[in-house]
Amino acid sequence: MNLPLTKLIGELLNRNVKMKHYYLLALGGIGFCWTASAQQDVQKALQNQFITVQPGDTIAITAGIFELEGTLWMDDKQNVVIRGQGKDRTVLSFKNQRSGAEGIKITNSRNIIVEELTVLDAKGDAIKVQQTENITFRHVKTAWSGKPKKTNGAYGFYPVNCKGVTIEYSESVGASDAGIYVGQSQDIVVRYCKAWHNVAGIEIENSLYADVHDNEVFNNTGGILVFDLPDLIQKKGGFVRVFNNHIHENNHINFAPKGNIVAKVPQGTGLLILATNNVEVFQNRIVNNISVGAGIMSYYMTEEPIKDKEYYPYPDKIHIHDNYFERPPVRATSKGRLGMMFRLKLKFGIDVPHILFDGISDAQRSEKMQICIRNNTNQTFANLDAGNDFKNVSRSLENFDCELPSLQPVIMKNAR
């Protein structure tokens, strides 16, 4: 039965038809409605629209909790909007998922918008996007119910190998790796988001040209991570700006499964820059993260072997300036390998510096590594001398009081 929307709703009301949920698909300005008398009908109807949707169409899902048993997969589409009625009103629940690992999966597409909905309790990643150009998430929530645990999915938002990624006004809760993650991608904006109860709140990994700003990350193990890791297709990231964020109380116990790189992030980490280059951190409020306010580390701090011959394990051109730091007078974490470092090697007690640099430099390099730290409120610092077994830890900023040129803002081209 395909009738104009207003007529169809009237017909249903006249017949006193009962239905659990329905969804709308807007085509060329004319509304059509398909009824679903059971949850399995919703699954089939939604997946059918993910397959058959045409350029310029909007898949609009009404308010309600929709219990889905399999991944909703969209491939090779362009100029499509997937829209709910609000992230607290339209909930796609995968609690009883039987097939597929992701909640929503989008591949090989262009100009896609996902907005105004929640993806809940996916078996694996909540939303995964691959090989897609211009993907926007707006007012979307990804979450796992209950207490944070290692059996939760790894990622809330997981765009990888993409170009033109915008994540805004969104939330992520409970991911066992990173709540908001962008990896091996280019031209990225993450703004006005919230992330909590994740191992990592926001992570930019092996990616180029990213602006992470005006977000609130709290009660994660680590607030914001900017990493370059080995053994990935895109080898080098960089040109990342992290600014105007509120990074506070990221002191949650690390619940990542063993073997994940984020399992090494110490409880109480505000911001961690690992083995990447051209990162500017400014005008953030970094407060009450008990172990590391801002850390600048080489990959050697992970104590993992490096087999990738093209990988460069050192940070460079890192500029941390004009931030506000504060922390309580308490000891850093004592958990994990890095916790052991704090306890046995560094012995800071309750006076842990806000900014930590591992001090490991590239002995094969002729020019000086550029790590610049200046004009931060409550600025305290330590060079850990980790390459020399922490024997000459120094709190002096003399060799790091410098300035680098400001990085350019990310300009999103052709984004919807």
- How much is the mean pLDDT over the chain? 89
Domain presence at residue 410: no
Question: How many residues are given for the chain?
Answer: 416
Q: Is 348 left (phi over 0), alpha (psi -120 to 50) or beta?
A: alpha
Residue 40: what pLDDT?
60
Burial of 63 (0-12, 13-18, 19+ CB in 10 A): middle
Range with the poorest average pLDDT among 12-16, 162-166, 366-370: 12-16
Domain presence at residue 186: yes
Q: Model confidence at 10, in pLDDT bands (50, 70, 90)?
A: very low
Q: Which two tokens mark 397?
A: 């900023």
Distance CA 408, CA 400 (A): 22
Q: Which two tokens mark 93?
A: 């629940």
Residue 350: what pLDDT?
92
Q: What is the mean pLDDT of residues 19-34?
A: 32
Range of the structural domain that residue 382 is part of: 144-388
**Residue at 110: amino acid letter:** R
pLDDT digits (tens, 9 = 90+) for 254-299: 999 988 999 999 999 999 999 999 999 999 999 999 999 999 999 9
Domain presence at residue 256: yes
Residue 23: what pLDDT?
34
Provide the percentage of residues in the chain whose pLDDT is more than 70.
90
Q: Model confidence at 392, in pLDDT bands (50, 70, 90)?
A: very high
pLDDT digits (tens, 9 = 90+) for 219-242: 999 999 999 999 999 989 999 999
Residue 124 scores a pLDDT above 50: yes
Q: Which residues does 362 contact at the CB level (< 8 Å), separation at least 6?
A: 314, 369
Domain presence at residue 329: yes
Range with the poorest average pLDDT among 52-61, 344-353, 404-413: 344-353
Residue 122 scores a pLDDT above 50: yes
pLDDT digits (tens, 9 = 90+) for 168-215: 999 999 999 999 999 999 999 999 999 999 999 999 999 999 999 999
Residue 30: what pLDDT?
27
Residue 327: what pLDDT?
95
The CA-atom distances, in angstroms, between 146 and each of 68, 120, 124, 150, 198 are 19, 11, 16, 12, 12
Selection from 125, 106, 227 nearest residue 176 by Cα: 125
Residue 165: what pLDDT?
98
Count of domains for the chain: 1
pLDDT digits (tens, 9 = 90+) for 310-348: 999 999 999 999 999 999 999 998 887 777 788 778 889
Q: Model confidence at 39, in pLDDT bands (50, 70, 90)?
A: low
Residue 12 scores a pLDDT above 70: no
Provide the percentage of residues in the chain whose pLDDT is more than 90.
81
Residue 347: what pLDDT?
85
Residue 7: what pLDDT?
34
Residue 123: what pLDDT?
96
Q: Which residues does 2 contact at the CB level (< 8 Å), separation at least 6?
A: 32
Q: What is the mean pLDDT of residues 355-366?
A: 90
Domain presence at residue 118: no
Domain presence at residue 105: no
Domain presence at residue 7: no
Residue 317: what pLDDT?
97
Domain presence at residue 397: no
